Structure 1
């Protein structure tokens, strides 16, 4: 296979940083981006071009950045939409601005970066778009409603994108990690609103302590996830000879929880089948 050119968002840490190193190890080329360019400039020593890209900027600014990348490097074969963060807090404790900020990064920022590259992919009739979703795209946990909402939204819009662009020769992958040892829960990445509302305060305190204890103790290995994604894109390793799925949960916890939700949903559909199917307008005889 000829070397691919990848563009990755959110490369300052976690999955994004690992993608850069794993892509290079496969012999491909990668363009690394981050909101704060100073946090990824060390990648220049590896021969990796770096660009400042805040995905919450305007569509015009993002378009200009992508155009600059294409002008300098000729093409992009694979887009990894990785940049995201998690907001923690109850519905009552999170402000409207907190909700807007969560969706601005996790949903609308992802839309803008993808829109900026879609004409390039469409004109070439090839390209792969990878979206890093989450177990929270399946399950809304208490105190994580904003994050889950953003990931549920991402799941729907990416599924629609897949349906719109598959006939153009474009590939779409939706990756759903469980709990992986990234910086997602670190104090520098997570934005939390501890509750002082009496009915929520104790549970909020316990959640904050639990998340702090889980940080850097998650069971998932980011290296293994990234290597699987590269296999899926390149048709190697675990993907060799396999039909690559559009959506793939990754992580033992993700497998267990998604399976449980699917089974519960099927059980509900069967139990309530007659009611569910009773809503059509009666035809007159």
Structure 2
């Protein structure tokens, strides 16, 4: 009888320990799941994020699941209530639109950097293209990102429309879904010239014959800012805030500068002035 009693007590202890371990592992797993954030960013951020996200993950234990889409597509997902933790737009216009519609939190916010659209001419192009007007003179394919959702594409159209040959140039346009697809097309030779952000210069230098700076030809050229926000659909607000604050760190700023982002509006303006001389 005593032996049976001991067996029952031992069984209860084993079951209790097993249950405690189950609860511990379950809580740990839940905690791990809570440390995953979903980031939806404009493709302009990809070179930077490829460099800095592993560092963030190692330092914080927070896993970052990132996808890249045009700013207008990200905005539409916010309006539809798609669960996103952090969003990064390629222009302040889209960011302010999301902020004004209550789709993102006003704080914390930061910017990845400033950038300018340039005209890249592929090394395979046999013609002497030194200004925007020259695009009308040759049988070439001119790539732009979708202007309805991609700020670089809208800026490209604004630049092209200033040309006296705008109608002819527009007839040569090939439209990509976003900058990521346009960069791929450019590398593959699917387009001969493309309007792409300045921070892709390093990535595209081996494919490029020359770069046209639109303002040097007398074309009004805008400087764009890439803001990051915590989404109102976030299910991990504190972790999302931590990532946005990280993007404002000196570490990220130094990497961004190395990759071609301008740290300030003045720096972008100084670049434009120096390129004009």
Q: How does the TM-score come out when normalised to structure 2?
A: 0.27
Say which one has the larger Rg.
2
Q: How does the TM-score come out when normalised to structure 1?
A: 0.26
Structure richer in strand, relative to its length: 2
